């Protein structure tokens, strides 16, 4: 009777959390699809290779080997320990216990020992990252970008992972004692490499108490995992999911290549007497650049949700290092914040967008930040999965200059010279190549 009641409670919990997670992902997907579509179908093999190298293989993480190694422990733990989670879910639904033990036989203890070693490495990695963020004088982790929720989020994630590992070891330690006591519900699978060290903590308890502790640890572990899965959808750790499409749809051009605007390119070619596409028809009502997230592309939204807030981009940004207000990490975080606020409006209005009187430009990202960018692309090169805050900056700066005519006088002078003299300086275009004859 108790087993069936437990199964019903577990199934209700699983369905409830699953429904919340699915609802959350649907809202994020709906928000992302309010941005401009991006039609990319070229070089699928090259794109797949890029995704496997950067997102799955974490190639650029190993620019910093020690950090990459500890990150790899957490990454592998997230992927492989899910096999154990699958067993717990099956046990919870059908009222069984260690269902894989009867299927895998003698291989089962080896598998659980492997998971325990991996969970130990995850625990050590979390301690390492906790110390690194809280105690070491690493400038990018003390940056004002992370004030408030972002800093709390990082420590919350590390804390949850450590607690979940402790719950797993407690469960396995009590399980071993119940096996020794001959409890028929606990098959003989032996002790495991880490949790066996926890057994002395529980030997003085009665079998009934040990059984209660094991059940509490079991429920705490699986409830914690399901709650963690939901929490991740509100966290920077959404990169676990979005890093894959973000890297797949990356710009395959080399660093320094920027996307031109077709209508502007058409006009420039006309002005210079260069051949143009005869089938191209300029749109007289075209909007130049981006004022809000709706004007950005899906790739920009994927990048924003894929950002881990590591700050390597800001660390390498010459504008930021010279004291300017620009922080590429903040550009990504502000874009995600705006997307989240748009999602809240959609949720409040049953999926319909109602203007909230805000925009990405000025309400989330200031003109001063945009103007500080030198377009050097150091941020893109520094990012472990090569997200592109520069593309967002350029699109917003285009709107700022071409739609709002909001540019410093020095810039306007340069623009005028480029238009009239085909050079940033004010001199006769016929004299442009005189320097070559004066050698």
My answer on whether 255 and 215 are in the same domain is no
| 380 found inside a domain | yes
Q: Is 347 exposed, middle or buried (0-12, 13-18, 19+ CB in 10 A)?
A: middle
Q: What is the pLDDT of residues 287-296, one digit of tens each?
A: 889 999 999 9
Name residues whose C-beta falls within 8 Å of residue 220's C-beta, 6 or more positions apart in sequence.
167
What gap in Å lies between CA 416 and CA 423, rounded to an integer?
9
Tell which residue, 143, 109, 125, 26, has the closest CA to residue 74: 125
Sole residue written with tokens 């995704």 = 51
User: Does the pLDDT of residue 180 top 70, yes or no?
Assistant: yes
Sole residue written with tokens 């749809």 = 249
Helix 149-180, helix 207-232: angle, nearest 10: 150
User: Does the pLDDT of residue 313 top 70, yes or no?
Assistant: yes
What is the average per-residue pLDDT within 267-283?
81
My answer on whether 264 and 408 are in the same domain is yes
My answer on whether 120 and 163 are in the same domain is yes
Q: What is the pLDDT of residues 61-116, one digit of tens each?
A: 988 899 999 999 998 888 888 888 999 999 999 988 999 998 999 999 999 999 99
Q: What range defines the domain where residue 297 resides?
A: 248-429
What is the average per-residue pLDDT within 265-270?
82
Domain boundary among 234, 265, 287: 234
Do residues 290 and 336 lie in contact, with contact meaning Cβ atoms separated by under 8 Å? no
Q: How many domains does the chain have?
A: 2
| 58 found inside a domain | no
My answer on whether 390 and 299 are in the same domain is yes
User: Does the pLDDT of residue 422 top 80, yes or no?
Assistant: no
My answer on whether 139 and 278 are in the same domain is no
My answer on whether 76 and 213 are in the same domain is yes
Lowest mean pLDDT among 209-218, 227-236, 410-419: 410-419
- Average pLDDT over the chain, rounded to an integer: 90
| 46 found inside a domain | no
Tell which residue, 399, 294, 298, 287, has the closest CA to residue 346: 294
359-383 burial code (b ≥16 CB/10 A, e <16): bbbeebbebebbbbbeeebbbbebb
Percent of the chain with pLDDT over 90: 69
My answer on whether 151 and 215 are in the same domain is yes
Residue 426 pLDDT level (bands cut at 50, 70, 90): confident
Which structure tokens are listed for 186?
């606990």
My answer on whether 227 and 280 are in the same domain is no
| 49 found inside a domain | no
My answer on whether 203 and 177 are in the same domain is yes
pLDDT value for 39: 77
pLDDT value for 414: 86
Per-residue CA distances from 133 to 240, 332, 392 (Å): 20, 20, 28
My answer on whether 281 and 135 are in the same domain is no
pLDDT value for 1: 43
3-state SS, residue 1: coil
My answer on whether 329 and 193 are in the same domain is no
| 108 found inside a domain | yes
What gap in Å lies between CA 426 and CA 432, rounded to an integer?
10
3-state SS, residue 39: coil
| 8 found inside a domain | yes
DSSP 363-397: HTB-HHHHHH-----HHHHHSTT---HHHHHHHHH
What is the average per-residue pLDDT within 234-253?
91
Name residues whose C-beta falls within 8 Å of residue 166's C-beta, 6 or more positions apart in sequence.
123
Q: Taking the alpha carbons of 318, 323, 325, 329 in that order, is the dihedral positive or negative?
A: positive
HEC assignment per residue over 208-221: HHHHHHHHHHHHHH
pLDDT value for 435: 65
pLDDT value for 2: 54
pLDDT value for 308: 93
| 39 found inside a domain | no
Domain boundary among 212, 234, 256: 234
| 383 found inside a domain | yes
Domain boundary among 206, 234, 262: 234
State residue 352 phi and psi, 5-degree precision: -100, 140
What is the average per-residue pLDDT within 181-192?
88
pLDDT value for 79: 83
My answer on whether 83 and 26 are in the same domain is yes
User: Does the pLDDT of residue 272 top 50, yes or no?
Assistant: yes
User: Does the pLDDT of residue 153 top 70, yes or no?
Assistant: yes
Name residues whose C-beta falls within 8 Å of residue 271's C-beta, 6 or more positions apart in sequence.
none
């Amino acid at each position: 009777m108790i087993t069936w009641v437990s199964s019903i409670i577990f199934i209700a919990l699983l369905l409830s959390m699953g429904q919340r997670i699915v609802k959350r992902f649907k809202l994020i997907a709906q928000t992302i699809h309010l941005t401009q579509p991006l039609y990319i179908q070229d070089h699928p093999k090259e794109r797949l290779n890029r995704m496997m190298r950067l997102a799955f293989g974490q190639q650029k993480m190993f620019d910093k080997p020690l950090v990459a190694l500890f990150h790899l422990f957490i990454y592998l733990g997230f992927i492989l320990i899910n096999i154990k989670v699958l067993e717990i879910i099956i046990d919870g639904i059908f009222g069984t216990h260690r269902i894989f033990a009867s299927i895998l036989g003698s291989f089962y203890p080896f598998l659980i020992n492997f998971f325990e070693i991996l969970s130990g490495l995850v625990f050590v990695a979390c301690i390492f990252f906790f110390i690194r963020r809280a105690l070491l004088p690493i400038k990018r982790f003390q940056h004002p970008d992370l004030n408030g929720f972002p800093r709390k989020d990082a420590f919350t994630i590390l804390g949850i992972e450590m607690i979940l590992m402790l719950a797993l070891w407690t469960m396995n330690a009590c399980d071993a004692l119940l096996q020794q006591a001959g409890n028929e519900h606990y098959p003989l699978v032996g002790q495991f490499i880490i949790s066996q060290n926890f057994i002395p903590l529980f030997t003085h308890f009665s079998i009934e108490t040990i059984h209660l502790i094991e059940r509490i640890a079991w429920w705490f572990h699986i409830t914690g995992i399901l709650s963690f899965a939901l929490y991740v959808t509100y966290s920077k750790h959404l990169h676990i999911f979005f890093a894959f499409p973000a890297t797949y749809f990356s710009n395959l051009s080399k660093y320094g290549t920027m996307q031109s605007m077709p209508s502007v390119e058409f006009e420039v070619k006309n002005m210079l007497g260069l051949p143009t596409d005869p089938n191209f028809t300029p749109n007289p009502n075209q909007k130049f650049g981006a004022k809000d997230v709706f004007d950005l592309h899906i790739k920009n939204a994927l990048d924003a949700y894929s950002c881990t807030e590591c700050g390597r981009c800001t660390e390498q940004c010459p504008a930021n290092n010279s004291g300017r207000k620009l922080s590429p990490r903040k550009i990504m975080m502000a874009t995600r914040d705006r997307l989240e606020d748009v999602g809240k409006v959609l949720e409040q209005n049953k999926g319909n967008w109602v203007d909230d009187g805000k925009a990405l430009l000025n309400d989330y990202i200031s003109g001063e930040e945009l103007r500080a960018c030198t377009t050097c692309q150091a941020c893109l090169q520094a990012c472990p999965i090569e997200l592109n805050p520069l593309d967002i900056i350029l699109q917003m700066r285009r709107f700022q200059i071409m739609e709002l005519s909001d540019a410093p006088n020095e810039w306007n002078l340069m623009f005028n010279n480029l238009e009239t003299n085909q050079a940033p300086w004010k001199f006769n275009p016929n004299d442009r190549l005189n320097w070559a004859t004066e050698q």
